[in-house]
Amino acid sequence: MGTADLYEKDFYEWTVVNAALLRAGKLSEIDVENLAEEIEAMGRSDRRQMGNRLTVLIMHLLKWQHQKERRSRCWRTTIREQRIRISRLLEDSPSLKRNSTELLEIAYRDAVKLFEDETGISGKKLPQACPYSLESVMDEELLPE
Protein backbone atom coordinates (compact mmCIF):
# COMPACT_ATOMS: atom_id res chain seq x y z
CA MET A 1 0.00 0.00 0.00
CA GLY A 2 1.39 3.42 -0.98
CA THR A 3 1.59 6.28 1.45
CA ALA A 4 -1.22 8.14 -0.33
CA ASP A 5 -3.52 5.12 0.19
CA LEU A 6 -2.47 4.92 3.82
CA TYR A 7 -3.58 8.54 4.31
CA GLU A 8 -7.21 7.52 3.72
CA LYS A 9 -7.08 4.26 5.68
CA ASP A 10 -4.98 5.04 8.79
CA PHE A 11 -4.00 8.66 9.31
CA TYR A 12 -1.83 7.99 12.37
CA GLU A 13 0.16 5.31 10.57
CA TRP A 14 0.47 7.67 7.59
CA THR A 15 2.08 10.29 9.86
CA VAL A 16 4.52 7.74 11.33
CA VAL A 17 5.52 6.38 7.90
CA ASN A 18 5.97 9.81 6.31
CA ALA A 19 7.98 11.12 9.27
CA ALA A 20 10.27 8.07 9.00
CA LEU A 21 10.64 8.59 5.23
CA LEU A 22 11.53 12.25 5.78
CA ARG A 23 14.13 11.36 8.40
CA ALA A 24 15.60 8.68 6.15
CA GLY A 25 15.82 11.13 3.25
CA LYS A 26 13.55 8.98 1.07
CA LEU A 27 11.83 11.99 -0.40
CA SER A 28 10.60 10.22 -3.52
CA GLU A 29 8.46 7.90 -1.37
CA ILE A 30 6.73 10.65 0.61
CA ASP A 31 3.07 11.47 0.06
CA VAL A 32 3.91 15.03 -0.99
CA GLU A 33 0.40 16.27 -1.81
CA ASN A 34 -1.22 15.17 1.44
CA LEU A 35 1.82 16.22 3.46
CA ALA A 36 1.62 19.73 1.98
CA GLU A 37 -2.10 19.89 2.79
CA GLU A 38 -1.50 18.81 6.38
CA ILE A 39 1.23 21.41 6.86
CA GLU A 40 -1.07 24.13 5.53
CA ALA A 41 -3.85 22.88 7.82
CA MET A 42 -1.52 23.20 10.81
CA GLY A 43 -0.95 26.86 9.96
CA ARG A 44 -4.67 27.49 9.54
CA SER A 45 -5.26 25.80 12.89
CA ASP A 46 -2.88 28.21 14.68
CA ARG A 47 -4.53 31.17 12.97
CA ARG A 48 -8.00 29.89 13.92
CA GLN A 49 -6.90 29.31 17.52
CA MET A 50 -5.47 32.83 17.69
CA GLY A 51 -8.76 34.25 16.40
CA ASN A 52 -10.83 32.20 18.84
CA ARG A 53 -8.70 33.26 21.80
CA LEU A 54 -8.82 36.91 20.73
CA THR A 55 -12.61 36.67 20.50
CA VAL A 56 -12.90 35.38 24.07
CA LEU A 57 -10.39 37.94 25.34
CA ILE A 58 -12.08 40.88 23.63
CA MET A 59 -15.53 39.78 24.76
CA HIS A 60 -14.33 39.71 28.36
CA LEU A 61 -12.62 43.08 27.99
CA LEU A 62 -15.91 44.49 26.69
CA LYS A 63 -17.83 42.97 29.59
CA TRP A 64 -15.24 44.37 32.02
CA GLN A 65 -15.60 47.82 30.50
CA HIS A 66 -19.38 47.92 30.11
CA GLN A 67 -20.57 45.96 33.13
CA LYS A 68 -18.58 47.48 35.96
CA GLU A 69 -21.06 46.30 38.57
CA ARG A 70 -20.69 42.66 37.47
CA ARG A 71 -16.88 42.45 37.35
CA SER A 72 -15.55 39.26 38.85
CA ARG A 73 -12.39 37.36 39.55
CA CYS A 74 -13.60 34.82 37.01
CA TRP A 75 -13.60 37.45 34.24
CA ARG A 76 -10.14 38.62 35.29
CA THR A 77 -8.92 35.02 35.23
CA THR A 78 -10.36 34.46 31.76
CA ILE A 79 -8.66 37.64 30.52
CA ARG A 80 -5.34 36.52 31.97
CA GLU A 81 -5.69 32.98 30.67
CA GLN A 82 -6.39 34.14 27.10
CA ARG A 83 -3.44 36.52 27.23
CA ILE A 84 -1.18 33.69 28.39
CA ARG A 85 -2.43 31.33 25.68
CA ILE A 86 -2.09 33.98 22.95
CA SER A 87 1.43 34.76 24.17
CA ARG A 88 2.35 31.08 23.82
CA LEU A 89 0.89 30.99 20.32
CA LEU A 90 2.87 34.07 19.33
CA GLU A 91 6.06 32.60 20.80
CA ASP A 92 5.61 29.51 18.65
CA SER A 93 4.37 31.38 15.58
CA PRO A 94 5.48 35.04 15.68
CA SER A 95 4.34 35.55 12.08
CA LEU A 96 0.74 35.52 13.35
CA LYS A 97 1.39 39.12 14.39
CA ARG A 98 1.47 40.08 10.71
CA ASN A 99 -2.25 39.34 10.50
CA SER A 100 -3.12 40.86 13.87
CA THR A 101 -5.16 43.79 12.49
CA GLU A 102 -7.33 41.47 10.40
CA LEU A 103 -7.61 38.89 13.19
CA LEU A 104 -8.56 41.60 15.71
CA GLU A 105 -11.32 42.96 13.45
CA ILE A 106 -12.80 39.51 12.88
CA ALA A 107 -12.49 38.64 16.57
CA TYR A 108 -14.07 41.96 17.54
CA ARG A 109 -17.11 41.38 15.32
CA ASP A 110 -17.56 37.92 16.85
CA ALA A 111 -16.93 39.22 20.38
CA VAL A 112 -19.61 41.91 19.95
CA LYS A 113 -22.17 39.25 18.99
CA LEU A 114 -21.26 37.13 22.00
CA PHE A 115 -21.27 40.22 24.21
CA GLU A 116 -24.81 41.05 23.06
CA ASP A 117 -26.01 37.51 23.68
CA GLU A 118 -24.46 37.29 27.12
CA THR A 119 -25.20 40.77 28.43
CA GLY A 120 -28.34 41.83 26.61
CA ILE A 121 -26.56 45.11 25.79
CA SER A 122 -26.83 46.18 22.16
CA GLY A 123 -23.62 46.04 20.18
CA LYS A 124 -24.71 49.31 18.59
CA LYS A 125 -23.52 51.02 21.77
CA LEU A 126 -19.98 49.81 21.05
CA PRO A 127 -17.48 51.20 18.54
CA GLN A 128 -17.91 49.84 15.02
CA ALA A 129 -14.21 49.02 14.69
CA CYS A 130 -12.11 47.23 17.25
CA PRO A 131 -10.93 49.81 19.79
CA TYR A 132 -7.96 47.65 20.77
CA SER A 133 -4.60 46.96 19.20
CA LEU A 134 -2.83 43.65 19.70
CA GLU A 135 -0.44 45.42 22.07
CA SER A 136 -3.27 46.76 24.19
CA VAL A 137 -5.21 43.50 24.47
CA MET A 138 -1.98 41.75 25.45
CA ASP A 139 -1.05 44.40 28.02
CA GLU A 140 -1.19 42.66 31.41
CA GLU A 141 -2.04 45.97 33.07
CA LEU A 142 -4.98 46.80 30.80
CA LEU A 143 -8.42 46.36 32.26
CA PRO A 144 -10.48 48.99 30.43
CA GLU A 145 -12.53 51.43 32.45
- In this predicted model, what pLDDT tens digit does every residue of 110-125 receive, in sequence order? 999 999 999 999 999 9
Q: Kindly report the pTM of this predicted structure.
A: 0.82
Residue 35 within a domain: no
* Statement: residue 130 has pLDDT above 70: yes
Residue-wise pLDDT tens digits, 87-110: 999 999 999 999 889 999 999 999
What domain range is 84 assigned to? Answer: 46-138
What is the band of 84 on the pLDDT scale with cuts at 50, 70, 90?
A: very high
Greater model confidence, 65 or 145: 65
**pLDDT at residue 1 is higher than 70:** no
Does 39 reside within a domain? no
In a domain, residue 78? The reply is yes
Could you write out the three-class secondary structure of the chain?
CCHHHHHHHCHHHHHHHHHHHHHHCCHHHCCHHHHHHHHHHHHHHHHHHHHHHHHHHHHHHHHHHHCHHHCCHHHHHHHHHHHHHHHHHHHHCHHHHHHHHHHHHHHHHHHHHHHHHHHCCCHHHCCCCCCCCHHHHHCCCCCCC
Whether residue 110 is contained in a domain is answered as yes
- Asked whether residue 85 carries a pLDDT value surpassing 80, the answer given is yes
Residue 36 lies in a domain: no
21-46 pLDDT, tens digit per residue, is 999 999 999 999 999 999 999 889 99
Query: What CA–CA distance (Å, rounded) separates 132 from 8?
Result: 44
Taking residues 44-61, report their average pLDDT.
96
Q: How much is the pLDDT for 99?
A: 85
Is residue 29 one of the residues assigned to a domain? no
CA dist., res. 87 & res. 72, Å (int): 23
Count of domains for the chain:
1
Residue 121 lies in a domain: yes
